[in-house]
Structure 1
Amino acid sequence: MSERTTWEACTVRDVIERHFCGPSPDCEERQIFAPEEWGVLKTTAITWAGWNDAAHKVLPKAFWEQSQIEVHEGDVLVTKAGPRHRVGVVCHVPSTRSRLVVSGKMIGLRPKTEVVDARFLAGFLGTKEPQKYIHDRTTGMAESQVNFANEVLLDAPLRLPPVHEQHLIARVLDTLDTAIRETEALIGKLKVVKQGLLHDLLTRGIDANGQLRPPQSEAPQLYKESPLGWIPREWDVQSLDKITATPICYGIVQVLDYVSSGVPVLAIRDLLGDYATGIHRTASSIDLAYPRSRVKPGDVLLSIKGTIGRIGMVPPHFLGNISRDIALIRPTSGIRSQFLAQMLRSPIGQTIIKQAQVGTTRAEISIAPLRKLEIAFPDVKEQVRTEEILESADIRLEEEQAKLNKLKSQKIGLMNDLLTGRVRVTPAVAQTEA
């Protein structure tokens, strides 16, 4: 194919030098570390977020030295077997370590670089029409295990712009990818910083001037010994049942059928949500049998079965009940709900909560030992100062997360426009995006 000025219809087969699949033998669950070892990729090496060459296992020696299926920089990889949502996932390989081969659950494509930009090819195969083409031709007895033949991918239709335009499109998308990766990295750092800040706030606290107290090793006079270790002298230690306005309890044992006009009942899955959509509702008669576990705004909720230790807080204007998988903790006036939730959600709080955990095959938290768990806390004014600092950290995280969501939405929109030719890219546009 020579350089053109218009878009041209073709297939994947037309634009690649070759395709390749590999073995799927039993492997040690470790990465390669010796220079002579070879590894086989896991399907998790291929994600919509990009390429991850760390997701691999060391191959048995009998499968080494298979250079014909080794992944190279510039290849395009596509998953071909697994759960429905993990089949047809595409990524471009910008760089890679040597001696990694594809498995039988994926296809490697080596593009003809004079015809197609590998980044464009990977992006195009991830758009709606090629994905539908692939998924319409998968087979399998269940959605948890489907696959497609190599020929399906090779015969998938493409529409290619001239190579120079492909390069421009790839440059625009690369710019967005870079911004996304940088924002994700910043969010990761902010989370680490917040965890460190949270630890300091919950072990050292803040003095009246709004400053973190120095560590106990530097200012021992500011601390006292307690059942929980060294804590600031102004702090107190109490068991949970001494700082709750009502007895800690679990919720409705049997919620039964959904009743559209019934009483909302929170489950573990709702503790991370907005308490507004998807909430189960049960009959008023069942709710009336469990007055002890009716929630009020400001109540702290703790998952006690299955997913142990998930913390939620009932928001304003929400009234309802909880399931048996959740414990209701209603703080007294001396403990602020937000402070208690932050404490229990922290690594320190999670360690304390595990003391009340029983069972091995199906872990749960018993109410009696939960009531006896001890926590350390400052006076209300210091609790407020702690909340304000953590709220500032949360706001910064939310701002960066909103920025990340916007960048991802922009990328999806640009991919749909640029990779399908709906919007043509020019050098001037590419320079603007960069």
Structure 2
Amino acid sequence: MLETKKLGEVCKFVRGPFGGSLKKNCFVENGNAVYEQQHAIYNQFSEIRYFINDEKFEEMKRFELKSGDLIMSCSGTMGKVAIVPANIKKGIINQALLKLTPSKNLDIEYLRYWMSSPDFIQRIEENTVGAAIKNVASVKILKEIKVPVPPLQQQQQIVAIINQAFEAIDQAKANIEKNIANAKELFQSKLNEIFSQKDDGWEEKSFKELSTRIGDGLHGTPNYDEDGEYYFINGNNLTNGLIEIKGNTKKVNYEEFIKHKKELNENTVLISINGTLGNVAFYNNEKVILGKSACYINFMPSVNKHFIKYLIKSPIFFKSMANESTGATIKNFSLKSMREYIVNLPPMKIQNEIVQKLELLETDVLEITYSYKQKLNNLEDLKKSILQKAFAGELTNMDFLQQVAEPEASYTKK
């Protein structure tokens, strides 16, 4: 075990000023920076939102941030730490930050790694206050937390080992993420290839020609009923062929359902046309009413609804939605555009064959993606394990690097 000391014995602490000290009327268009939570959370010091003038800065000089300090987020997203780099814009911390200045016997990188370790995070969580927005407890309590403090040379050796391990892990993660992107890109490429072709027997048809009805849901808000058995869904409830009932999905009673129900059937395809465009689901007799962002299309029996699902997920359809949608912030794809959309439709036999091939490929991609995401989670767990061992004096060799090995990014399965 490593020798421990109280954090207050090896660091100077400055908690950000009371919120009343930095009111909106203090801020100016340009001047001295006010550093916030985001600078600790995202480890960036270049994007500044708030400034104070020189007079205010001198008044609050105790909270000045300097190169070599370490800041920690103390409200909401707690315990995120960042080392202040050289040549930052002169400024102060706000009320949501804690500034730590380590003594000459404490390596700043060592301190940062320790404050990212599971042990320290647990101590932070044990000493939080607040119900809705969590806040780190008082500086007095934080100063009492014990930190392992071996000799400076050993601290630097531990940092070097962690750096090497994390560099290998980050490279492995980059390869895995590239493989995930390659797998998804392959699927999108296949969709693009299929829905760009027009072979013999394929016909150009509009959605209006291929359906008996196209419409959207309620433009407004129904009367909700917590005890109702019917759900009010919108485009965000449509997920890869399924209607997803989320925790915040509102309910309505039978009377409201009868008032707003649409004539949907087993060949109905639901598509999100407002906000997030292109989510897709099938209707399977769920007890739902539709909101305005859920478009419904009742396709004729000559159309395989799964063929349509893959068309909607294709880059071709998404590009059309993006080009023809209106709205700067919240995008909207009109029912008129949906009715007029032209699809190259093959005979039903070929539709079925295409769907079968795409389902097999999609299953393969999903399995690959799930496997890779598990590996990403394992690598994050490995990082935590390395930090745990480092500050328990158990990080004596590099055997753990064998757990990091990951092939070059190369997923190109056909």
Q: Provide the TM-score with structure 2 as the length reference.
A: 0.66
Amino acid at match of 2:124: P
Question: Residue 78 of structure 1 aligns with which residue?
Answer: 72
* Alignment counterpart, residue 341 of structure 1, candidates 297, 305, 309: 309
Question: Residue 304 of structure 1 aligns with which residue?
Answer: 273
Partner SS for 1:375: strand
Q: Is the alpha carbon distance of 1:274 and 1:175 closer, same or farther for their aligned partners in structure 2, counting shifts above 3 Å?
A: farther
Distance of 1:285 and 1:371 partners within structure 2: 30
Consecutive unaligned residues in structure 2, runs of 5 or more? 56-60, 402-414
Alpha carbons 2:176, 2:372 under 8 Å: kept: yes
Distance of 2:257 and 2:155 partners within structure 1: 61
Question: Residue 129 of structure 1 aligns with which residue?
Answer: 123
Instruction: Work out whether 1:275 is the aligned partner of 2:267.
Output: no
Distance of 2:236 and 2:67 partners within structure 1: 40
1:269 shift after superposition = 3.5
Partner SS for 1:292: coil
* Alignment counterpart, residue 119 of structure 1, candidates 104, 112, 115: 112
Distance of 1:205 and 1:101 partners within structure 2: 57
* Alignment counterpart, residue 139 of structure 2, candidates 134, 142, 152: 152
Q: Is the alpha carbon distance of 1:284 and 1:169 closer, same or farther for their aligned partners in structure 2, counting shifts above 3 Å?
A: farther
Q: Is the alpha carbon distance of 1:255 and 1:386 closer, same or farther for their aligned partners in structure 2, counting shifts above 3 Å?
A: same
Distance of 2:298 and 2:383 partners within structure 1: 44
Work out which structure has the larger RCO, using CA pairs closer than 8 Å and 6 or more positions apart in sequence: 2
Q: Is the alpha carbon distance of 1:180 and 1:264 closer, same or farther for their aligned partners in structure 2, counting shifts above 3 Å?
A: farther
Distance of 2:224 and 2:130 partners within structure 1: 38
Distance of 1:101 and 1:156 partners within structure 2: 27
Amino acid at match of 1:326: A
Question: Residue 320 of structure 1 aligns with which residue?
Answer: 287
Distance of 2:305 and 2:158 partners within structure 1: 50
Partner SS for 1:349: helix
* Alignment counterpart, residue 189 of structure 1, candidates 152, 156, 178: 178
Distance of 1:97 and 1:333 partners within structure 2: 68
Aligned length: 371
Distance of 1:293 and 1:184 partners within structure 2: 48
1:241 shift after superposition = 2.3
Question: Residue 80 of structure 2 aligns with which residue?
Answer: 90
Alpha carbons 2:33, 2:51 under 8 Å: kept: yes
Amino acid at match of 1:263: Y
Alpha carbons 1:295, 1:314 under 8 Å: kept: no
Question: Residue 388 of structure 1 aligns with which residue?
Answer: 360
Partner SS for 2:194: coil
Partner SS for 2:237: helix
Partner SS for 1:329: strand
Distance of 2:357 and 2:163 partners within structure 1: 43
Question: Residue 266 of structure 1 aligns with which residue?
Answer: 233
Question: Residue 204 of structure 1 aligns with which residue?
Answer: 193
Distance of 2:141 and 2:113 partners within structure 1: 16
Distance of 1:330 and 1:411 partners within structure 2: 51
Give the alignment's Cα RMSD to 1 decimal.
4.9
Instruction: Work out whether 1:256 is the aligned partner of 2:226.
Output: no
Distance of 2:28 and 2:289 partners within structure 1: 46
Partner SS for 1:286: helix
1:309 shift after superposition = 0.6
Distance of 2:176 and 2:306 partners within structure 1: 23
Instruction: Work out whether 1:288 is the aligned partner of 2:258.
Output: yes
For residues 282-336 of structure 1, the C-alpha deviation after alignment (integer angstroms, 9 at most, x for no partner) is: 223332344425575x85432233x241403248x77232431311235455554
Identical aligned residues as a percent = 13
* Alignment counterpart, residue 9 of structure 2, candidates 5, 14, 19: 14
Partner SS for 2:208: helix
Consecutive unaligned residues in structure 1, runs of 5 or more? 29-37, 207-229
Question: Residue 340 of structure 2 aligns with which residue?
Answer: 372
Distance of 1:402 and 1:188 partners within structure 2: 11
Q: Is the alpha carbon distance of 1:183 and 1:97 closer, same or farther for their aligned partners in structure 2, counting shifts above 3 Å?
A: farther
Alpha carbons 2:204, 2:345 under 8 Å: kept: yes
Q: Is the alpha carbon distance of 1:122 and 1:260 closer, same or farther for their aligned partners in structure 2, counting shifts above 3 Å?
A: same
Partner SS for 1:248: strand
1:281 shift after superposition = 3.1
Alpha carbons 1:251, 1:293 under 8 Å: kept: no
Distance of 1:337 and 1:177 partners within structure 2: 47
Partner SS for 2:224: coil
1:21 shift after superposition = 7.5
Q: Provide the TM-score with structure 1 as the length reference.
A: 0.64
Distance of 1:264 and 1:310 partners within structure 2: 21
For residues 116-149 of structure 1, the C-alpha deviation after alignment (integer angstroms, 9 at most, x for no partner) is: 622343225861332453x4289xxx95xx9889
Q: Is the alpha carbon distance of 1:77 and 1:196 closer, same or farther for their aligned partners in structure 2, counting shifts above 3 Å?
A: same
Partner SS for 2:145: strand
For residues 255-283 of structure 1, the C-alpha deviation after alignment (integer angstroms, 9 at most, x for no partner) is: 42234461244333433598255243322
More divergent stretch after superposition (102-111 vs 398-407): 102-111
Distance of 2:79 and 2:87 partners within structure 1: 22
Q: Is the alpha carbon distance of 1:407 and 1:103 closer, same or farther for their aligned partners in structure 2, counting shifts above 3 Å?
A: farther
Alpha carbons 2:192, 2:315 under 8 Å: kept: no
Amino acid at match of 1:257: Y
Q: Is the alpha carbon distance of 1:329 and 1:173 closer, same or farther for their aligned partners in structure 2, counting shifts above 3 Å?
A: farther
